[in-house]
Amino acid sequence: DDATWLLTSAFIIFTMQSGFGLLESGCVSSKNEVNIMAKNVADVVFGGMSYWMLGYGLSYGDSSGTNGFCGIGKFFIDPGDATMGVEFSRFFFQSSFATTATTIVSGSIAERTRYVAYIVFSFFNTFVFCIPAHWVWSENGWLNRMGVVDVAGDGPVHLVGGAVSLVAAIMIKPRAKRFTSEDDHEMGSPSGSLLGLFVLWWGWLAFNCGSTYGISGGKWKLASRAAATTLMAGISGGIIGTLGSFLINKKKFLIPWIINGTLGGLVSITASCAVTGVWESLVIGSIGAVLVLLTDVLLVKLHIDDPVSAIAVHFTGGVWGLLATGLFVHKDTITFNFAERPGVVQGGGFHMLGIQALAVVSITVWSVLMGGAILKAIDVTVGLRLSAEDEELGADMAEHNIR
């Protein structure tokens, strides 16, 4: 049953919040680990509320006035008996995507952001996700009608989250003493971050496989392929991260390299997971990991402070994932819903690559402008950054009274 498949996938995706929490709390100092976990709660609580109120309707509303830019209708969603099975399962599934797009941002501004400011951000950032979700996944969306391929959210989830993370990190500026000779920022719990990686990987399988929206009519075949490609892209990315660290870091296997290489592979395959082959997934995951690790190095040189590498993993990985789809995607000959034509490598010419590139540019511009506007408004009214005294004391004590 398709609804059962969708609900089960959503239950598993919900656990990704635990994975992000473990990963991020392990990357920050011990005096901020509770705070970063609490921000993941805010993502679900306040982001989930705004998604129910308006977000789902902006993405999937189909009432009069719906257009290629946004949906109209289905606000405060509460359908009747005739349609509630389909609508509620889709709402729950997509709400997990919406909150994930916001969770990504929390790591990039860790250890220096006021909790009240982040609560406001969690509520409003949902809308940054909803509009590209309409473009890509709604039958009325303008990118969807052009034939864009994004099975599980490289654009609306990862690219949105990564682009807003970049704006946020630049706006809020680096942590105190970061990029100075007195820099003492280290991972508080590498083992916790590794555990978070595995929880995320578990959730990622549901994220990608569930995006077939069922198992009937041959969709189970696409879900099976998505499982294999997601697994192998993560594996290839992890290999790149591990070997890269050994070769470059004086034969040391640095934990951030291993984690970010693996996550880079997983993000990169998200757009094409159900409509590309295993061999292609190995290439996509490997190149994605290289690009993510190089981006991380570049951000440090530019003095852009991102404690959990959210920008490198999700923005760079999201860009590459969408473009790689234009190169490697196979035509969907099973359901005919996910890819109308093959990519460049499969003999389909450059048309698909052009559409994917357009998606990258349009979603990035939207995310930077809207995410930046929301963050600026919060900074002017509530204030984004912790005081110097509270940052030194630690957000756990300053914000939550936890020693």
User: How far is C-alpha 19 from the chain's CA centre?
Assistant: 13
Question: Which residues, other chains included, contact 11 with Cβ-Cβ below 8 Å and sequence gap of 6+?
Answer: 206
Location of structure tokens 């990686």 = 197
Q: According to the model, what pLDDT value does residue 240 have?
A: 98
Q: According to the model, what pLDDT value does residue 177 have?
A: 87
Q: Read off the pLDDT of residues 341-366 as tens digits, 9 standing for 90 and up.
A: 999 999 999 999 999 999 999 999 99
Is 45:239 a contact under the CB 8 Å cutoff? Answer: no
Q: According to the model, what pLDDT value does residue 335 have?
A: 80
Is 259:24 a contact under the CB 8 Å cutoff? Answer: no
The CATH number linked to 21 is 1.10.3430.10
Q: According to the model, what pLDDT value does residue 163 have?
A: 98
> DSSP characters for 300-320?
HHTT---TT-HIIIIIIHHHH
Overall number of domains in the chain = 1
**Whether this model's pTM surpasses 0.85:** yes
Q: According to the model, what pLDDT value does residue 186 have?
A: 82
| 3-class state of residue 385 by DSSP | strand
Q: Which domain holds residue 360?
A: 2-400
Q: How far apart are CA 6 and CA 237, in angstroms?
A: 27
Q: According to the model, what pLDDT value does residue 82 have?
A: 82
Q: How far apart are CA 401 and CA 395, in angstroms?
A: 9
Intervals of the chain under pLDDT 50: none
Which tokens go with 345?
């490598």
Q: What angle do helix axes 317-328 and 278-301 make, rounded to 10 degrees?
A: 150
Q: According to the model, what pLDDT value does residue 85 have?
A: 86
Q: How far apart are CA 54 and CA 42, in angstroms?
A: 18
Q: Which residues of 63-78 are buried (b: 16+ CB within 10 A; e: fewer)?
A: eeebeeebbeebbebe
Which tokens go with 98?
């919406």
